[in-house]
């Protein structure tokens, strides 16, 4: 099963994965909003770094779940 199909399956069948995905999307939107401003303050810059780290952590968690689900399907 492809990674895309596993992700789709998890989005539809796993509440924890869906929650991680929604939080990841929220981080993306926040970063997009902050990036639109060409005059970013020091506080906004720090906030962007925090959001980027959170977004990466969420992606790592989702990727682990995708791999685990993929391993279950192969057994």
Tens-place pLDDT, residues 47-61:
999 999 999 999 999
Per-residue pLDDT for 75 more than 70?
A: no
What CA–CA distance (Å, rounded) separates 47 from 52?
A: 9
Q: Find the mean pLDDT for residues 26-54.
A: 94
The answer to whether 65 and 17 have CB atoms below 8 angstroms apart is yes
Would you list the domain boundaries of the chain? 3-74
What beta strand segments (E) does 1-75 contain?
none
Instruction: Burial-class residue 48 by CB neighbours within 10 Å (0-12, 13-18, 19+).
Output: middle
Per-residue pLDDT for 12 more than 60?
A: yes
Per-residue pLDDT for 9 more than 80?
A: yes
């Amino acid at each position: 099963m492809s990674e895309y199909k596993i992700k789709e399956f998890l989005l539809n069948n796993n509440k924890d994965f869906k929650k991680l995905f929604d939080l990841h999307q929220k981080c993306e939107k926040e970063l997009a909003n902050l990036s639109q401003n060409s005059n970013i303050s020091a506080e906004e810059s720090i906030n962007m770094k925090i959001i980027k780290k959170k977004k990466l952590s969420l992606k790592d968690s989702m990727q682990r779940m995708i791999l685990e689900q993929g391993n279950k399907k192969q057994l």
